[in-house]
Each structure stands twice: as structure tokens, then as C-alpha cells.
Amino acid sequence: MKKPPHHYHLCPLCGFEFERTETHCADGCPMGRFCNLIRCPNCQYEFPAEPRLLGWVRRLFCREPSRATQREMVGLHELEVGEQGELVCLSCEQHSRRNALAVYGLVPGSRLLLQQKRPTFVIRVGETELAIETGIAREIFVKRIPREEAAFQ
Amino acid sequence: MKGNQDTATLNVGRAATTAQEAAIVLVGNPNVGKSVLFSKLTGKFVIISNYPGTTVEIARGETRLDGEAVAVIDTPGVNELSSRTGDAQVTCDVLRDHPSAKIVQVADAKNLRRALLLTLQLAELGRPQMLVLNMMDELDRCGGRIDIRKLSELLGVPVVPTVATAGTGIHLLQKNVAVACNASDFVARAVAPSSGAAADYDRNVERLRRVNEVMGQCYTLDRPRHPTFAQKIGWWATDPLRGTLLLALALYFMFWFVGLVGAGTFVNFFEEVVFHRHVSPWAIHAVDAVLPFPHQHAMEPSEYKLEIPLTPTRGIALMTSTREVLSSKYNLAPGVTLSWWQEALRFLHDFLVGEYGAITMAFSYGFAIVLPIVATFFLVFSLLEDSGYLPRLAVMVNRLFRGMGLNGKAVLPMVLGLGCDTMATMTTRILETRKERVITTLLLALAVPCSAQLGVLMAMMARISYPAAAFWVLLMVGVAFAVGWLAARVHRGQTSDFIMELPPMRLPQFGNIAVKTLARLEWYLTEVIPLFILGTAILFFLDRLDLLSKITRVCEPLVKGWLGLPPETANAFLIGFLRRDYGAVCLLDAATGSNPTLSAHQVLVAMVTITLFMPCIATMFMIARELGKRTALWVTLFIFPFAFLVGGIVHRLEHILGF
């Protein structure tokens, strides 16, 4: 849930995230460099850039909506401590690493609980507590299990 | 050591002829209690701890089934049987070498899923097997239920519940070994072989699907709402803040118990009261009676203070006593010339109770100084081992160790090295790649002082200031990191991933700790005392042949010129080649003995140099055995010049440091 740095823009219409350099306006627009509008490369909607000061104030008072929750699949490192997840896939490039996790029961479909993130990730699979490095945690993709549902498990 | 292995195979060969048909191989995931079960079955002692990877070598013993002797083989824990991963190699070899043996799979009942994954792999071998569900008490506590009859039906093999530590179910296990049989088709049906690098993984996914089917029919879990206290401590131990506090607490307790009580109170008592006042005078009298020649032993004062230590400088004094005791120094009767016969007697006399005497020097050092320190250390270490804290320590230091080309797991041999570097060198087998093993071994040999040396160094530390002591600690840690960092860059190997199972925290059992401490002490003493006697004998003969002074003169440029130490300390470094703690004790004598010859700065230089020495000759042999002679040679060639280099640099820094 990293906040996008200020040179990233979020289209207010379709939610597409893009860099300023990706915007293309029509050639020969009379506004030239005085134009303060940004065009979303996805839906072509044009909107004014947010003044910096306003951006600071907004970030100060409003919480960035955590869009990641709506996503189906998140990296293990994006899970909150104490949250449960169902493993969707392992993106490890080395097969030995994938198998090293599989022997602990970490295969698609198995459930895990994130116990801590620092200094090293600790997860719980069944009754096994497993410490894994952050680098490997990023390669584990899970589906969040809502807390209400997890309580019944 | 090689010879040892050979005799082991010979013994088994003999056992195999009588009980070939009935051999049992204990197989299972790491840390499920195979070794406990093994010692319950055979009555043989093996080291048992609460962390994965305690057993690195196979152990063999015998048990009686229906009055018949049956060979039992304990194997290191494995998570899968694929021989592609190195750690399963030993177990696979054992299974291959004993084609008619029955497989007894030991499982942690709490972790049934992982156990069954292994059951399926074993079943594919198509051999008689059975399943032991160990730690049933812990399963109960965490709210799990296993329908054992149903599980046995599904697998088609006998399933026996046990609590190995309490000895429950052992008889049932012995009875059921006879009916061990091949697994049912459902589990034994080989998983479709797929090719390519992903094969192992794909097969395990398929196996786990079947395991889940089995689990669904016989396993229920009703987890209690509140975590137990032990669980909470386990969580605290890996928390950045509370974990650091817990570590500091553990370290302080260890320092207090080993450094102050062990190396202070106990050593004082054994050295001053037992040896100086009783054993040595008694030995002198006895030797004088047997080997008479005209001489008179001098008397010297012996001061003893019994106190309960609180900090290194303060304690609660309970009693003090002073007494005149017989000294090993003696004067010949004036005006007497000794005959050749008397000279010979004198020679033997000096060998036993002289300045470099076997009894007055080697025994008093080995038993009075080393034994109390080593005993207290092993006691604390066994406590730590059995509690399950050590793997959690690995979690805390993983990031730090990454810089040295290691991962957190390397902390296990490192901590063990504080007890005995030779044993720790063998434990490096739990590390997965050769690079990790080489670097850990190097750091163990270089910068991890063993308990015997640590105790002597702590005594030397009393002669230097607090900043100097802190400097010594920081320098050792700094050297370890710098050398580790460099070695990680020089060595072209790979570092393995850090994936580590954290065993549950448990209350250590008194019996196991006592037995384990005693076994380690025995191992230590049988190795140490002969080396001490050898070292003393070498010193004695060098002294007699007048070589000691010549060696002193030869080493003068190095010892006096480079290190700035008195030339007489050369014999300390000379003996340090044999055992660095012995070298340290010679330096301790020069630093705090009856007429100290070292200044505070010289003590620091000597401490730094001797700490960085190779631990002992046994460690060198162990490195050669574990990593090959070439590596052992390189490690040795690096360590000794490096130790002198660092010592010399510290000496040159005298004016900058100011201590």
C-alpha cells in the first residue's frame, strides 16, 4: 500500500495509474506548455493536476483508500499481521525453492496465518510455525480470507 | 574419525547377519522425536534437543522384539525423500543399504499433513512400513483429534499413538512392528512421473491433494481460544523489541551463570581449595615418598574467598580463609650433589609434580579450571536447546548474517561453538550449501571462543579496564563480520534460502538436561585431558632440553618486536597451537600469576591474538574430515598469520586507544 510518488497520477474516472510522461495530448494544441490538464492514457479523460499544496493537505487529513483490499490476489508481504490467507500461487523462479515450501504443506489451496513481518516473516501453516525471508514472502501470492470467515476455520 | 565409522559399519555388519530380516529404520520429519524414540527402544543415549537438525549422523542400536534382538537405526530428519536435496541423502542411503529393513515412520501428531506427505513418498518404495504418531499429548493440548483406526484403514499400515518422552505407547509400537506391511494402493499408487525441473514440486502437489483427502476423513481440529504461555513466549522471542530484550536477558543470565558463578565461584573453589590445598600437596607427598631425593618443598600462602557474585566486581562475601600450603617449587638440600640415580628420580618427580608437571599443571588446569566452566556452560546450553529458543534466535539474526553470505540458521553452530568448536564444526552439516559450511567453519575456528577459553579470557579481562574489555568484544565481532563479509565475496558458492521451522517452546525436562550435560562433559574431558597432558609433556621436555629458551629467542622478533610482549610468552603461543585455551591459561599465568609480567595493554594484545588462534588440534582434524584436507590447510594457513597480524595492529594502536 505504498503511496504513489507525486509524479504518478491516478485517473479519477477509471482509477488507472500512470506517469506524466505517458500522457499524450493532440498535436498542435494551442494551450502548449501552459496547459495544466492531464489526460488519462486509458480512458482519455482530461483532468487538472492537483496542486502540490492541496496534495499535502489531502494526504495529511484523508487516508489513502487501500485499494489493495479489493484486489483478489496479494503478495504475502501485503497481508497484515494476524490476517489469514489462502495460497494462490508461488512465483518462485527456482523450482527447488518452490518445492522447499511445498514440503511444509505450502501449496495452492492451503491456508496460512501471518504471525509477524519483522525482522523476518513468520507464518503458520497448520501447526507448523515457519520463518521465511522477506524475499521469499514476496513470491508467495495469497487470497485474503476475511476475519469473520477465518474465525470459523 | 574415519576409523570410527569403519568400526560402526563392522558392528552393524555383525548385527545384520543375526538380525538382517528384522532391522528397523526410524524415518520422519525433523524434530518429531525420532531420537527420543530411538533411545527408549534401545536404551542407548543419543543427544536430543528441541530444534530441527540435532541428529546429523545415523545412530545404531538394538532392541528386543519377542525376545529377539533387532537392529534399530536412527536417521536425520527429512521433509521429503527426493535425493536431489542434500539433506535427504543420508536417509536415502540408509534405506537403500538396508533393503529388507522395516520402515517405522515417526510423525509429529500435530503436523499430520506434513507427516502424511512423507508417508506417501515412503509408500512408493513399496516396503513394509508403519506410522508412529508421536507427541499425542501436544496434539491434545492444541485441540486436535485423530481417528487412529480410520487412519490405519486408509493407509493400510499399523498406526500407533505414542508420547515418547513419557514412554507411553512404546510397547504397543514394539508389538506392531511385526505386522508392519505395505501401504494400501490408494497411498502407494505412484504419482504420475513428470519430467523437468518442476517434477518434485508437481508430484508433491499431487501427493498433498491425496493427503488432504485422508486428513478430511480422520482429522478434526478445535483450537483453544487463548494461546498458551509457552506460545506467547515463542512469539515474543521473534518480535524485534521484546525478542531483543529476551536475548539480552538470556545473554546476561548466561554471563552470570557461566562467567561469574562457573568461572568465578566454582573455579575458585576447585582451584584453590580442592587442588591447591589438597590434591597438589597430597600428590607432592606421595611422589616424594615414592621417588626420594634430597630436597625441600617451599610453602606458599593460599587465599580463598567464597562469594556469591552479582557483577564482575561486586559480590556477597560469605567467608575467607588463608592457609600455608606446600608449593611445587623446591630447593635441593645445600651442598649435596645428586647421583645419576637421584637425577633420574628427580626427572620423574618433575614430570609429575614440577613446574610443568602432569598433576600440578595439566590436571589442575583440566579439572579445576576447565571442568567447572564447561559444565556450567553445557548446563545452560542444554536448557536453551531444549526450550526451543535457538531457532527463534536464527529469525532475529537472519538479516545480519546475510551480509556474511550466511543465513540465520548458521547461528545454531555458532552458539554451539561457544561450548565446543569441534562439536560445532560437525553441526555445520545442518547448513545447506558448501559455501555456508565453509564460512561458518572459518568463523568458528577464528572468532568464536569455546567455553574453556572463554572462561580463561574472562579471568584475564579482570586485568584490563572496562573500555578495553568492550574493545575486545567489539573487535572480535568486527573481525568476524569483516572476515565473513570478505569470505562471502571470495567464495563462489551459493547461499541457501532462509526457510526454517520454529519448534514449539517447551519446558525443558530435568532428566534429559542432566544426561545431556554429563554426556557432553564426558566427550569433552576424554578429548581435553589427554591433550593437556600431551601439551604439558611437550613443554616439560622442551624445558628440560633447554629448547624452550632457544624457541623463545627465535620467536623474539615476532613476540617482542611485532606484538610487544615479553619473549617468555612465546611458550604460551607455542602451546596455543595445540589448544588455544591452554595457551590462554599460560598467558593468564603471566598476567595474573604470582609475579605478573604483563601490563594492561599487553594483556589486551595477548588476549586478542590468542582468541583468534585455531581452537585446538581436534578442531583442525574435524575440519579436515568435514570439508576436506585442502580446506583445513587453507583455514589453518589463514588463521595463524591473521591472528598475529591483528594482535600486532592492536599493539600499534596503543597510543591512539590509550589502553
Shared domain check, A87 and A43: no
Residue B328 is predicted with a pLDDT of 82
- Residue A65: cis peptide before it, omega within 30 degrees of 0: no
The Cα B168–Cα A107 span in angstroms is 34
Coil vs helix vs strand at B299? strand
CB-neighbour burial class of residue B485 (10 A; exposed 0-12, middle 13-18, buried 19+)? middle
Domains in chain B with CATH codes: 2-221 (3.40.50.300)
Taken in order B638, B644, B645, B647, the sign of the CA dihedral is positive
Q: Cα(B208)–Cα(B215) distance, rounded to whole angstroms?
A: 10
User: To the nearest whole angstrom, how far is the Cα of A27 from the nearest Cα of chain B?
Assistant: 52
Taking CA atoms, what residue in B is nearest to A129? Answer: B502
**Tens digit of each residue's pLDDT (9 = 90 or more) over A115-129:** 888 888 999 887 788
Q: Distance between terminal CA atoms of chain B? A: 45
DSSP 3-state of B132: strand
Q: At A123, which CATH number? A: 2.30.30.90
Nearest-Cα distance to chain A for B472, in Å, is 28
Which residue out of B203, B225, B395, B505 would a mutagenesis test of the A interface target, given it has the greatest number of A Cβ atoms within 10 Å?
B395
Residue A2 is assigned to a structural domain of this protein: no
- Confidence at residue B8, expressed as pLDDT on a 0 to 100 scale: 39
pLDDT band at A4; cut points 50, 70, 90: very low
Our CA-based measurement puts residue A20 at a distance from the nearest CA of chain B, in whole angstroms, of 37
Q: Quick check: A24 pLDDT over 70?
A: no
Any idea which of A37-46, B447-456, B622-631, B640-649 has the lowest mean pLDDT? A37-46
Q: How far is A14 from chain B (nearest CA, A)?
A: 39
Tell me, yes or no, whether A61 lies in a domain.
yes
CB of A44 within 8 Å of a chain B CB? The answer is: no
The pLDDT score that the predictor gives to residue B446 is 92
CA distance A115 to chain B (A): 8
pLDDT for residue B641 is more than 80 = yes
Closest by Cα among B38, B18, B39, B15 to B28: B38
Q: How far is CA B85 from CA B21, B75, B470, B628, in A?
A: 29, 16, 43, 21
pLDDT value, residue A69: 44
* pLDDT at residue B5, as a whole number: 40
A12-26, B75-89, B353-367, B595-609: least confident range: A12-26
- Averaged pLDDT for residues B231-248: 87
Contacts (Cβ under 8 Å, ≥6 apart) of B617:
B531, B577, B578, B579
Chain B residues near any Cβ of chain A (below 8 Å)? 79-80, 82, 84-85, 108, 110-114, 117, 142, 144, 197-198, 200-201, 204-205, 208, 234-235, 238-240, 391, 394-396, 398-399, 407-408, 497-502, 504
Q: Which residue has the higher pLDDT, A109 or B439?
A: B439
- Return the bridge partners of B25, or none: B73, B103
Tell if the CB–CB gap between A122 and B238 is shorter than 8 Å.
yes
The burial of B107, by beta-carbon neighbours within 10 Å (0-12 exposed, 13-18 middle, 19 or more buried), is given as: buried
Query: Minimal Cα distance from A132: which residue of B?
Result: B499
Domain that holds residue A97: 73-151
- Assess whether pLDDT exceeds 60 at residue A151: no
Nearest chain B residue to A90 by CA distance is B201
Q: Which of B108, B111, B395 sits opposite A122 (nearest CB)?
A: B395
Give the chain A residue whose CA is nearest to the CA of B496.
A97
Band (pLDDT 50/70/90 cuts) for residue B194 is low
In terms of domains, do A87 and A123 share one? yes
The DSSP H or E segment spanning B315 is strand B315-332
Radius of gyration of chain A (CA): 21
Cβ distance A127 to B144 less than 8 Å, yes or no, reads yes
Q: Answer with the residue of higher pLDDT: B108 or A26.
A: B108
- The helix/strand/coil state of A115 is strand
Say if residue A77 is in the same domain as residue A145. Answer: yes
pLDDT of B4 > 50? The answer is no
Q: Is residue A1 part of a domain?
A: no
Whether residue A77 sits in one domain with residue A137 = yes
Instruction: Classify residue A95: in a domain, yes or no.
Output: yes
Are residues A120 and A80 part of one domain?
Answer: yes
pLDDT score for B355: 75
Contact A132 B499 (CB under 8 A): yes
Domain boundary among A45, A65, A85: A65
End-to-end CA distance of chain A: give it in Å, rounded.
27
User: All 3 cell numbers of residue B274?
Assistant: 580442592
Q: A interface mutation test: which of B497, B501, B505 has the most A CBs within 10 A?
A: B497
The pLDDT score that the predictor gives to residue B648 is: 93
Domain end, chosen from A28, A48, A65, is at A65
Residue A42 has pLDDT above 80, yes or no: no
> What three-state secondary structure class fits B423?
helix
Mean pLDDT score of chain B, rounded to an integer?
A: 82
> Are B302 and B335 contacting, i.e. CB atoms less than 8 angstroms apart?
no
pLDDT tens digits for B292-315?
Answer: 888 888 888 888 888 888 876 677
A82 reaches B (C-beta below 8 A): no
| Statement: residue A150 has pLDDT above 60 | no
CA A21 to CA B212: how far, in whole Å? 51
CB contact under 8 Å between B497 and A128, yes or no, is no
What is the tens place of the pLDDT at every residue in B27-73?
888 888 888 888 888 887 777 776 676 776 778 888 887 778 888 88
At B220, list the grid cell. Answer: 478434526
Per DSSP, A149 falls in state: H
Q: What is the DSSP letter of B77?
A: -
pLDDT digits (tens, 9 = 90+) for A93-145: 677 777 778 888 888 888 888 888 888 899 988 778 889 888 888 888 888 88
- Closest in A98, A103, A132 to B80, CB measured: A103
- pLDDT greater than 70 at residue A40: yes
Q: Are residues A90 and A41 in the same domain?
A: no
Residue pair B489/B403 in contact by the 8 Å Cβ criterion: no
Do A80 and A122 sit in the same domain of this protein?
yes
Note whether A81 and A44 are same-domain residues: no
Distances (CA, A) of B72 to B37, B84, B125, B179, B212: 10, 26, 19, 16, 31
Copy the grid coordinates of residue B552. 623463545
| pLDDT at res. B50 | 67
Of A34 and B550, more confident:
B550
Residues A57 and A17 in one domain: yes
- A91 lies within 8 A of chain B by CB: no
In a domain, A107, yes or no: yes
Q: Looking at the complex, report in whole angstroms how far the Cα of residue B396 sits from the nearest Cα belonging to chain A.
A: 6
Task: Report the 10 Å Cβ neighbour count for B415.
Answer: 20
DSSP state of A50: P
What pLDDT is recorded for position A117? 85
Phi-psi region of B179 (alpha: psi -120 to 50; beta: other; left: phi over 0): alpha
Helix (H) or strand (E) holding B70: strand B68-74
Q: Which of B538, B561, B542 is nearest to B644 (CA)?
A: B561
Establish, for the pair of chains A and B, how many residue pairs have beta carbons separated by less than 8 Å: 108
Across the range B488-496, mean pLDDT stands at 83
Distance from CA of B622 to the nearest CA of A (A): 30
Report the complex ipTM.
0.74
Interface test with B, best of A87, A99, A110 (most B CBs within 10 A): A99
Instruction: Report chain A residues whose CB lies below 8 A from the CB of B399.
Output: 119-120
- What average pLDDT does this structure show over A78-92? 81
Whether A120 has its CB under 8 Å from any CB of chain B: the answer is yes
Q: Which of A20-29, A104-113, B329-338 has the lowest mean pLDDT?
A: A20-29
DSSP labels, B207-262: HHHHHHHHHHHHEEE---SS--HHHHHHHHHHSHHHHHHHHHHHHHHHIIIIIIII
Q: What is the pLDDT of residue B190?
A: 67
- A137 in B contact zone (CB under 8 Å): no
- Number of alpha carbons in the 13 Å side-chain half-sphere of residue A93: 1
Which pLDDT value is given to residue B619?
A: 86
In this complex, do B208 and A120 lie within 8 Å of one another by their Cβ atoms?
A: no
Of A92 and B482, the one with more pLDDT: B482
Q: CA A2 → CA A5, A10, B113, distances in Å? A: 9, 14, 37
Cell numbers representing residue B109 in the block:
501428531
| Amino acid identity for residue B528 in this structure | V
Any domain includes A128: yes
For residue B53, the distance in angstroms to the closest alpha carbon of chain A comes to: 15
Burial of A2 (0-12, 13-18, 19+ CB in 10 A): exposed
pLDDT confidence band for B647 (50 / 70 / 90): very high
Number of domains in chain A: 2
pLDDT exceeds cutoff 90 at B440 = yes
Residues A50 and A89 in one domain: no
- For residue A68, the distance in angstroms to the closest alpha carbon of chain B comes to 26
Tell me: do A56 and A78 sit in the same domain: no
Query: Do both A89 and A131 map to the same domain?
Result: yes
Q: Give the strands of the sheet with B59-65, arranged side by side.
A: B59-65, B68-74, B24-28, B102-108, B129-134, B159-161
Question: Is residue A3 in a domain?
Answer: no
| Interatomic CA distance for residues B653 and A102, integer angstroms | 54
**pLDDT greater at residue B322 or residue B459:** B322
Contact B398 A96 (CB under 8 A): no
Rg (CA), chain B: 29
Q: Do A128 and B85 touch (CB under 8 A)?
A: no
- Give me the pLDDT at residue A143, please: 85
- Cβ distance of B114 and A103 shorter than 8 Å: yes
- Residue B453 CA to residue A17 CA, distance in Å, equals 62
